Structure 1
Amino acid sequence: MTENSSPIPLRGIVGEPRKGKIGVLIEEHFDMTEFRLFNESFPKHGYQVVYLSHLWGNPSLTFGSNPDAGWVEEHVLVETEITAADPADYKGIIVIGAYASDRLRYQVTPRQGEPNQAPAVAFIRRALADRHLKIGTICHSLWLLCADRALLQGRRVTCAHNIVCDVENAGAEVVYGPEGTVDLVVDGNLITGKHPGITDKFITTFLSEIENGD
């Protein structure tokens, strides 16, 4: 495909669910590295990757990755509406990194004193309530959980350095090491990664938590 050709989006269901499904919450401006490694690694280990998003009344929507040198390389066609999805149908739920997580927490009409009711926030709220369901974030994707302080209060996490203040203000305990935030933190059913550079390590840990955790 040339830089000026029309992109052919990847269909938002990848692999066969031999061991189960892993749901990935996605929107425009998703991280390209994570996207590629999720699609390669999880199906190789027997898990189907299902991309979910709020489709705003459409049967499907196509989302693009963050642009690299002005060119959006990856596109995904999402047909799974998050408001109709049940977290119990999945072995694990991941929020993809980059600015997609900020777009996912958008709510049309916020109301004073009411927790964020964006479809993705409502979904992740239900998912986190199941202590046996593994939830994963990398880099900026912890932003989605910052939309409701109750989701992060008292949780031990790691994240990108540029959202540390947001995460700490949401009540989480960010874990630090010699070089800023640590690469990976597992706190119960929540697995958090620092940045896309540790995606392979994150996937290995996430799979281990699914297959060996309680």
Structure 2
Amino acid sequence: MDSHSLTTRGAVMAVSGKRVAFLLTKGVEQVELTSPREALEGAGATTVIVSPSEGTLQAMQGDWDHGDVFDVDVPLGEAGAGDYDLLVLPGGTLNADALRQDDRAVELVKDFFAAGIPVAAICHAPWILADAGLAEGRTLTSYASLETDLRNAGADWRDEEVVIDGNLITSRNPGDLDAFNAAIVQALQDTEA
């Protein structure tokens, strides 16, 4: 058996039985949902879409082109941080802007931080951290256009493909997905069983 098989098997064993919430709504950047989901499920985790959208939601490819439609697994009002081992916040301008204005979404993100559960945000998703009062004193990254907003919210913003600050993992854009995916799988492996 080669070392890749051992590593993969170890990852599957380490995250088997772990549950991951993806918090998103209409306008989510499709690849920022599908790529991390595939990485986590490939490692043995169970993923669920939590959303204020009812029934289904429309993903986007960039800001203008419609992507696929996805089923909502858990309504936002029924989701609790204690039910999950990791929270992933995919980007997409429309998605991120809508979620940061949704009090229930902001409260759920705060609950994950309060519980010390890992939170991973990519692209425009870190916007919600500013609205939740969670960016202050944190080192993070995001889509470049959010730099000023996040610095104004007290964050130490970095232009790096992945930034890990305690239980917070952030990346800039879809070009960083390989590093982002590796970091979130590792964070899930590091959580206690």
Runs of 4+ in 1 over 6 A off after TM superposition: none
Give me the whole-angstrom Cα distance separating, in 2, the residues matched to 1:135 and 1:72: 27
The one-letter amino acid of 2:99's match is L
Higher helix fraction (1 or 2):
2
TM-score normalised per structure 2 = 0.84
Alignment of 1:105-120 (within 5 A): 105-107=100-102, 118-120=103-105
Superposed displacement of residue 212, structure 1: 2.6
Compute the displacement of 1:79 (Å): 3.6
On the 8 A contact 1:83/1:123 being kept in 2, the answer is no
Which runs of 5 or more residues in structure 1 are unaligned? 1-16, 108-117, 176-180
1:141 to 2:125 alignment: yes
Separation in 1, partners of 2:111, 2:73: 21
Larger radius of gyration: 1
Are 2:169 and 1:186 equivalent residues in the alignment? no
Report sequence identity in percent.
Answer: 24
Say whether the 8 Å CA contact 2:31–2:61 is kept in structure 1. Answer: no
What's the Cα RMSD here?
Answer: 1.9
Return the offset for 1:68. Answer: 5.7
Kindly tell me the number of residue pairs found equivalent between the two proteins: 177
Unaligned runs of 5+ in 2: 1-14
The alpha carbon displacement at 1:208 in A equals 0.9
Selected match of 2:109 from 118, 121, 124? 124
CA deviations over 1:182-210 (Å, ceiling 9, x no partner): 11110000001111111121111111122
**Rounded Cα–Cα distance in structure 1 between residues aligned with 2:79 and 2:134:** 19
SS in 1 for 2:66: coil
The answer as to whether partners of 2:88 and 2:120 remain within 8 angstroms in 1 is: yes
Aligned residue in 1 for 2:35: 37
